[in-house]
């Protein structure tokens, strides 16, 4: 854990950057941070992420005004291994908006660049330990569930996003494979359904599942060979951009059918 005191313009406030292994859920980081005691702001950042040099100064500014209960910013990739030729930076960029503003319903902040008020964490009991990454198992959504809970309970009046709070996140070689994108979308679809819920009965779910599966077949058999090779020069681009999202829909509809 690395602790950095904020500049004197924000007295009696400090930032604790809590590192946790990429394979662990945010709960472990929060528990570790809370055990330290005495800090008003918690920054949860995985140990495969690195903040830009002006991150602390920007966090001070946001923490002072508008002083939101939850805030964060964009995530950009960096690499320690060579990227495949087809792999685009865009696949790993998490950019909600290019303006500093309060986020509305349905807008969230990624857990790799998330700042929370300590009293908010304590009141809400931290993150749900049943959500998020555990070991090598792909799972997501603990930060989304926390933000939803904070909003609905009235504990967080403002969830704020600042594009100047830039963090770079390591993209390991194992993530630069089409298979990872497909598995990741399946996990996101299933977790999102559980967190956000979806209206509709089993009939709607069955129709949606069939439609999504049929669209996958059509896009692989027809869309892939006819793709726009200027925007998607490699077959992997088409699968990641046009096929993988449908895997998330399949997982979501399947989960609805099993309820």
- pLDDT by residue (tens digit) across 42-72? 566 666 788 888 888 888 888 888 888 899 9
Residues 19-35 have pLDDT tens digits of 444 434 344 444 444 34
CATH of domain 2-172: 3.90.550.60
Orientation of helix 178-196 relative to helix 142-153, angle to 10°: 20
Q: What is the pLDDT of residue 165?
A: 92
Polymer length in residues for the chain: 259
Closest CA relative to residue 42, chosen from 69, 66, 23:
69
Sequence spans of domains, the chain: 2-172, 178-258
Q: What is the pLDDT of residue 35?
A: 45
Highest mean pLDDT among 122-126, 136-140, 164-168: 164-168
Where do we find the tokens 């100047």? 164
Residues 182-201 have pLDDT tens digits of 998 888 776 665 555 555 67
Phi, psi torsion values for 105, nearest 5 degrees: -55, 140
Closest CA relative to residue 172, chosen from 83, 242, 60, 91:
83
Q: What is the mean pLDDT of the chain?
A: 78
The pLDDT of 68-81, averaged and rounded, is 92
Does the pTM of the predicted model rise above 0.85? no
Q: Is the per-residue pLDDT at 244 higher than 60?
A: yes
| 3 state DSSP class of 65 | coil
CA distance 215 to 208: 10
């Amino acid at each position: 854990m690395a602790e950095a005191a904020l500049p004197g313009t924000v007295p009696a406030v400090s930032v604790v950057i809590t590192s946790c292994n990429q394979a662990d859920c945010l709960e472990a980081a929060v528990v570790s941070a809370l055990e330290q005691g005495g800090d008003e702001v918690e920054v949860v950042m995985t140990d495969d992420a690195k903040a830009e040099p002006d991150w602390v100064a920007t966090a001070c500014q946001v923490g002072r005004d508008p002083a939101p209960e939850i805030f964060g910013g964009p995530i950009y990739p960096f690499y320690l291994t060579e990227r495949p030729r087809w792999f685009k930076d865009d696949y790993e960029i998490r950019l909600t908006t290019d303006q500093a503003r309060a986020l509305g319903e349905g807008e969230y902040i990624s857990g790799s660049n998330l700042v929370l008020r300590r009293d908010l964490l304590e009141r809400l009991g931290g993150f749900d330990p049943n959500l998020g990454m555990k070991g090598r198992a792909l799972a997501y959504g603990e930060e989304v569930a926390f933000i939803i809970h904070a909003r609905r309970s009235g504990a967080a009046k403002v969830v704020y996003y600042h594009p100047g709070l830039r963090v770079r996140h390591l993209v390991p070689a194992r993530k630069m494979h089409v298979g990872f994108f497909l598995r990741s979308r399946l996990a996101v679809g299933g977790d999102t359904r559980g967190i956000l819920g979806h209206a509709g009965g089993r009939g709607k779910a069955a129709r949606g599942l069939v439609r999504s599966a049929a669209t996958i077949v059509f896009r692989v058999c027809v869309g892939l060979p006819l793709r726009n090779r200027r925007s998607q020069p490699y077959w992997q681009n088409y699968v990641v951009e046009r096929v993988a999202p449908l895997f998330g829909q399949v997982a979501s509809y399947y989960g609805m059918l099993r309820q």
